[in-house]
Amino acid sequence: MTPLILPVNGVAPKIGPNCFIAPNATIVGQVEMGNDCSVWFSAVVRGDVNQIKIGNFVNIQDNATIHATYQKASTTIGNYVSIGHNAIVHGCSIHDHVLIGMGAIVMDHCIVESYSIVAAGAVVPANTHIKEGELWAGVPAKKIKDVSKELKEGEIERIANNYKMYSSWFESK
């Protein structure tokens, strides 16, 4: 089984070196992915209706969906970002060193600045601006607190680094 990587309207995804793409992941259309990324089992990165730009050392975990809105909202994901299992990142801008928790939803025209966390299960409504170093949770999501040094190192950085390690386990030797 190989990943489903397809062009849409003549535009094929561009995937940087040292990326792990799970055998049943899907990446289509206007997708630019940097180096050392991973797209896990059943995840979908769907650049069919607008562009998706993904930085370096990004992990898109199992069943996550990255999409955009036709003619209205592209999606940009910075470096060292973790997108948790079953999360939806849609038509928004995620800066560097961000954790999007499992099952979270980040909607169109949101901005999530660096060193922020969107908690598991949170729903971030369209046009929300999460400032640098904030933790947001709930439905709808609201700021809960500032991200501590312990959370930056123990969660944001740890998860990003671990997923690079996990992807190395799948390399053919």
Q: What angle do CA 50, 40, 148 make, to 5 degrees?
A: 90
User: In angstroms, what CA-CA distances link 97 with 9, 88, 171?
Assistant: 32, 17, 25
Domain definitions of the chain by residue range: 4-168
Average pLDDT of adjacent 10-residue blocks, the chain of 173 residues: 94 97 98 98 98 98 98 97 98 98 98 98 98 98 97 94 94 61
Q: Encode burial over 90-116: b for 16+ CB neighbours within 10 A, e otherwise.
A: bbbbbbbbbbbbbbbbbbbbbbbbbbb
Q: Which of 90, 128, 135 is nearest to 111 (CA)?
A: 128
103-110 long-range Cβ contacts below 8 angstroms, 24+ apart? 104/141, 108/69, 108/72, 108/73, 109/73
**Rg of the Cα trace of the chain?**
15
**Predicted pLDDT of residue 5:** 97
Find tokens 């996990």 and name the residue: 166
**Predicted pLDDT of residue 171:** 76
Task: Find out whether the peptide bond into 3 is cis, omega within 30 degrees of 0.
Answer: no
**Predicted pLDDT of residue 49:** 98
**Predicted pLDDT of residue 172:** 61
CATH of domain 4-168: 2.160.10.10
**Predicted pLDDT of residue 1:** 80
8 A C-beta contact, residue 25 and residue 44? yes
